[in-house]
Amino acid sequence: MSYVTRVWQDHKAAITPWLFLLPGILMFAIYIVIPIFQSIAISFYRWDGLGEKTFIGWENYRELMRDDIFFTALQNNVIWLVLYLLALPAGLLLALFLNQTTRGIRIYKSLFFFPFVISQVVVGLVFSWFYDPSFGLFNTALMKIGLSPIAVLADERYVTYGVIIAGLWPQIAYCMILYLTGLNAVDGEQIEAARLDNVRGWRMLWYVILPQLRPATFIALVVTVIGALRSFDLISIMTGGGPWGSSQVLAYYMYEQAFSEYGFRMGYGAAIAVVLFAIMLIYIGFFLAKMYRDEKGR
Amino acid sequence: MSIKSGIRKIRSSMVALTTSALIALPALAGTAMAGELVINTDSSFPAVKKAFQAAVTGFEQENPDIEVTWNVFDNEAYKSAIRNFLSAESPDLATWFAGNRMLPYVNAGLFAPIDDVWAENGLDKTLKAAESAVTFNGTKWAVPYTYYQWGVYYRKDLFAKFGIEVPTTWEEFKAAGAKLQENGITPVAIGTRFPWTAAGWFDYLNLRTNGYDFHMAVTRGEIPWTDDRIRKTMGHWAELLKAGFFLENHAAYSWQEALPALVNGDAGMYLMGNFIVAPLQEAGLTDDQLGFFQFPVIDPTIAMAEDAPANTLHLAAGARNVAEAKKFLAYIARADVQTMMNEIMGQLPVNAQSSVADDPYLQAGFKMLSNVDGGLAQFFDRDAPAEMAKAGMEGFQEFMVKPERLDKILARLEMVRKRQTQ
């Protein structure tokens, strides 16, 4: 028996899983892990993507610290994160409302889920028209009740909130569908038992239903936080980061600096990407720790 | 379609593919000897595409031994595609823009100099109008084949109705606006959601206040943004802002979305490039309603200068068919070819010996540009380096909404300028 076959025979059980993992590991390394390190490396250079790279050390990061728009973007990311979490209770509310057996309920469910199915680009366009100061529904309504119109997307005070509301529309639908599937798995016997003990209303929801929805809540939280941090499409469609950078978020600012018509500052874009990555890392760390604890607890 | 017939279809198309490859192989070898030419253009707009189609066809007729491969890119996608194809699989010729916009490619060695094409064909005489915009370090880097004027497009009928004369001076301009306002009309329509439109106003106010040389020095980054002369320009702008000259909520609209204001008669004027005419005519404005005038004089001691962006054709450094490419460059510089192309595009030929299409706006623009003593600028985002252009345009947009932040905006622009000139 040759050496190779002997090793194979002896360690078959140990080697096999790695063989199966290999394609995945390779892909993950090439498309995710290595680019992360490349981005970190590029963030120390000045580079227009065409000519020579110049090493400038921490200069890109020093510039970030002096960059007003960067801090606007950072602040907006926090606002996005906080307000996006509203999708959870709103989605739960809708799910509870739709979780009944009436004629045609499936149609209502699919209609409520619809905003998640259509492209974010379409959502952005629809809301751009909705906010349009001259013919948009929003301002027509404001004027009907005697208020003066507000150009939401052109006003630095409201623009971020305007875009977040557009983003919440599909996000709520997504959370709703997660909770609807969660509600399917709720144990009827426990509800019966609680009923016998005369539990109803809020107490039923809080002490009986919600604990059983924990897996759904967890997934909804994860997708919502990630959705908030990577918000990009809506900003690109509705405002382009404007007016004058007041609706920027990190993901879009990174794209703009690195790849847009007036950008091609690869180093600076990479530096923004690294900061965004660091923020996500905190969250991912928390997420992994929780997973680990849950697995261990079982 | 059943699965079986689907498979049969795929198989037959594969056969077709292999046979066509077999036929194509010797054909390719044949053309390689005769001469090839690969041109990449950003001409996805129908009129521009048609103009290029006509130019390529004409060239092939004159040079039957050269086979032209012409690739049309989407206008927006081209801006990032050009970076890839110039450094990876290079065409022989590529369209781009004059001014600072071409410098990254010149500096990276992706465009090749074409001084010989200019010298052999006497282009320094025929293409003089855009010569400075394609010259860098004393070397010519492109052949400009089209340009267009900027200026004020206005509602002739409304001006006539309220007895307003076409303004030629700053005072007259402000008076005309005031008269429009008295009659419930916003003087100027503009949409700054994509803020480059605001840069048109900066260009003109600065060209008229401080002149061509100073304006070009500003865009090259040689003048601090906090300079008093720039403050003077911004002061003129502030006069208009204070008087409420511009369309309300302009930051919410793109330039197209601001057009209805002019079409409906809610606004009287629009500072824009000549490409504004086509959509306005489509929206129903006739030549009796729409007029054009040169941006008024602010300081009579300063020579008139205009924005007139030129589009250009460049020789790629990685070109494989240099002789054929130079032949095409000489061809597209010719008076008759530029006449033909620009008639189709509805723009102005750069060649001085070309004739201009019979169109009131083009004729007016041609007359205006022929009498320019100050010089022709390329537009702010082509004259200034990319980063400065972006910061500038956003700053102008902010200034138009919040004029009281002038100091902060200029300080920010100055920071960008300093970093750029480091």
Summary mean pLDDT of chain A = 88
pLDDT in tens, A177-187: 999 999 888 88
**What pLDDT, on the 0 to 100 scale, is given for residue B24?**
42
Chain B positions in Cβ-Cβ contact with residue A132 (cut-off 8 Å):
252
Give Rg (Cα) of chain A.
25
Nearest to B249 among A49, A151, A239 (CB): A151
Residues B243 and B178 sit within 8 Å (Cβ to Cβ): yes
Check residue B375 and give left, alpha or beta (phi > 0: left; psi -120 to 50: alpha): left
> B383 and chain A: CB distance < 8 Å anywhere?
no
Which residue in chain A is spatially nearest to B409 when comparing CA positions? A244
Contact A243 B415 (CB under 8 A): no
Task: List CB contacts (< 8 A) between A268 and chain B.
Answer: none
Report the pLDDT averaged over residues A281-295: 82
Largest CA distance in chain A: 91
* Cβ-Cβ contacts under 8 Å for A198 (sequence gap 6 or more): none
Q: Give the range among A25-29, A33-37, A81-85, A101-105 with minimum mean pLDDT.
A: A101-105
Residue-level pLDDT at B26: 42
Tell me whether residues A244 and B195 touch, CB distance under 8 A: yes
Q: What is the DSSP string of B212-233?
A: HHHHHHHHHT-S-TT-HHHHHH
Rounded CA separation A7/A261 (Å): 57
CA distances from B259 to B271, B283, B294, B298 (A): 11, 9, 19, 26
Does B389 contact chain A (CB < 8 Å)? yes
Chain B hits for A240, CB-CB cut-off 8 Å, are 193-194
What pLDDT does A102 receive? Answer: 82
Say whether residue B384 is in contact with chain A using an 8 A CB cutoff.
no
User: Cα distance from B24 to chain A (closest Cα, Å)?
Assistant: 35
CB contact under 8 A, B381 and A51: no
User: Nearest CA to CA, how far is A72 from chain B (Å)?
Assistant: 15
Contact check, Cβ <8 Å, B412/A68:
yes
Which of B95, B109, B94, B99 shows the shortest CA–CA distance to B132?
A: B99
- Distance (Å, whole) CA A255 – CA A233: 11
**What number of other Cβ atoms are within 10 A of residue A40's Cβ?**
14
Q: What 8-state DSSP symbol labels residue B403?
A: G
Contact B394 A49 (CB under 8 A): no
Q: Is A211 inside any structural domain?
A: no
For residue A66, give the chain B residue with the closest CA.
Answer: B415
Grade residue A1 by pLDDT with cuts at 50, 70 and 90: low
Question: SS3 breakdown of chain B: % helix, strand, coil, rounded to 5?
Answer: 55, 15, 30
* CA-based nearest residue in chain B for residue A159: B252
Complex ipTM value? 0.77
Is residue B208 a contact partner of residue B295, using CB atoms and an 8 Å limit?
yes
What value, to the nearest 5°, has the Cα angle with vertex A72 and ends A70 and A73?
65
Q: Which residue of A has its CA nearest to B76?
A: A261
Average pLDDT, 10 consecutive residues per value, chain B (422 residues): 42 43 42 74 83 91 90 85 87 90 88 90 84 87 91 93 92 92 93 91 94 92 93 94 92 89 93 90 90 93 91 91 90 90 89 85 88 86 88 93 93 89 74
| Class of the CATH-defined domain B35-147+310-363 | alpha beta
**Average pLDDT in the A16-29 region?**
93
Whether the CB of B79 is below 8 Å from some CB of chain A: the reply is: yes
CA closest to B88 among chain A residues: A50
In a domain, A44, yes or no: no
Identity of the residue numbered B341: M
Residue spans per domain, chain B: 35-147+310-363, 150-307+385-421
Q: Provide the shortest C-alpha distance from residue A262 to chain B (in Å).
A: 5
Interface contact flag, B83 A153, Cβ < 8 Å: no
Give the mean model confidence (pLDDT) for residues A201-212.
85
B250 interaction partners in chain A (CB closer than 8 Å): 154
Q: How many domains does chain A have?
A: 1
Contacts of B317 in chain A (CB under 8 A): none
Question: In this complex, do A243 and B397 lie within 8 Å of one another by their Cβ atoms?
Answer: yes
B contacts of A242 (beta carbons < 8 Å): 193, 195, 251, 394, 397
| Least confident residue range of A71-85, A87-101, A253-267, B166-180 | A253-267
| Residue A40: predicted pLDDT | 93
Asked if residue B129 lies in contact with residue B369, where contact means CB atoms within 8 angstroms, the answer is yes
Distance from CA of B46 to the nearest CA of A (A): 22
Asked if B42 is an interface residue toward chain A (Cβ–Cβ < 8 A), one would say: no
Helix (H) or strand (E) holding A219: helix A214-229
Backbone angles phi, psi at A251, to 5 degrees: -60, -45
CB-CB under 8 Å, A262 with B386 = yes
A102: domain CATH number is: 1.10.3720.10
Percentage of residues of chain A with pLDDT beyond 90? 34
Helix (H, G, I), strand (E, B), or coil: what is residue A157?
coil
Q: Determine contact, residues B314/B117, Cβ cutoff 8 Å.
A: no
Residue B16 pLDDT: 43
Q: Residue A48: list chain B partners with CB under 8 A.
A: 104, 108
Instruction: With a cut of 70, say whether residue A298 has pLDDT above it.
Output: no
**Is the Cβ pair B250, A242 closer than 8 Å?**
no
What CATH number does domain B150-307+385-421 carry, 3.40.190.10, 1.20.1250.20, 3.40.50.2300, 3.10.180.10? 3.40.190.10
Placement of tokens 């426990």 in the chain: A190
The reply to whether A128 falls in a domain is yes
* A26 domain residue, yes or no: no
Task: Round to the nearest angstrom and report the end-to-end CA distance of chain B.
Answer: 66
Domain range enclosing A250: 69-180+219-297
B54 Cα to chain A: minimum distance (Å): 29
B390/A63 touch (CB, cutoff 8 Å), yes or no: no
Query: Which of A50, A63, A133 is closest, CB to CB, to B249?
Result: A133
CA–CA gap between residue A129 and residue A127 (Å, rounded): 5
Chain A residues inside the 8 Å CB shell of B256 = none
Q: What is the pLDDT of residue B34?
A: 64
